[in-house]
Amino acid sequence: MTIFHSIILGLVEGLTEFLPISSTFHLLFASKLLNILQTDFIKVFEVFIQAGAILAVLILYFKEVIKNRALMTRIIISFIPTGIIGFALYKVIKNIFFESHFLMLAVFLIMGVIFLVIEKLISNKKIKLEKSIKNINYLQAVLIGIIQSLAVVPGVSRAGSVMVGMMALGFKRDESARYSFILAVPTILAASVYDLFKMREVVFSQSSNLGILMVGFVVAFISALFAVKWFIGYLRKNSLFIFGIYRIALAIILLLIF
């Protein structure tokens, strides 16, 4: 893996982490298109640079979370089921979910269909988007955490699963996105730290590894800043319909290629 690869993958991570299109899915297939072998270091790299994207959210939403203890409490409650499931399925995630390209493509496509179904229900007034994140109760917080845990399968999208789940519960699109952004902080930081600890020998096996990690981290951070600001503005006036179409089209294209 080279610095060029690190820049490209950092850009892919930053632009897709907070969009409902699965950053992990895009990283895995971008690596495949760049002919980067899925070594243990690449798997660590793909998790670690997510922390760069998370830094963007910390900068944008830190004051809001610190001042709102009720929101912080609900974020912690939502994180607990995700943390438990992620820890319990660590080996399965690494050895099965990340290795099955067909599984990823199928899940990626199915989530696209779910987006379209949810948006259709909203347009037909079957679901009304009226709630803000200040209305989240403890039971909903737990349910959102369980829904987020589905994203252990590459292709689901952590942000996408949280948003669709919250929209189904009646939360506004931009509010759902904001909650998914903030919930990403403990979720991804925990995953990054745990992965670095488990794979520390791989990370420090070559002196160039740290440089590659840091370049990807910085690029992911900068690109995520722009992506988060754009996405929130987009959702105030638009639906997830285009992301559903994008998922279905890309899954079909990649199935034909691979």
pLDDT tens by residue, 201-222: 766 667 677 889 899 999 999 9
Reported as a single tens digit per residue, the pLDDT across 102-119 is 888 999 999 999 999 999
How far apart are the C-alpha atoms of 124 and 199, rounded to whole Å?
Answer: 49
DSSP character at residue 237: T
pTM across the whole model:
0.87
**Three-state secondary structure call for residue 254:** helix
Q: Of 220, 246, 176, which Cα lies nearest the Cα of 56?
A: 220
| H helix runs in the chain, sequence order | 3-16, 23-33, 40-48, 50-67, 69-88, 90-92, 101-123, 138-148, 158-168, 173-198, 200-203, 208-235, 241-257
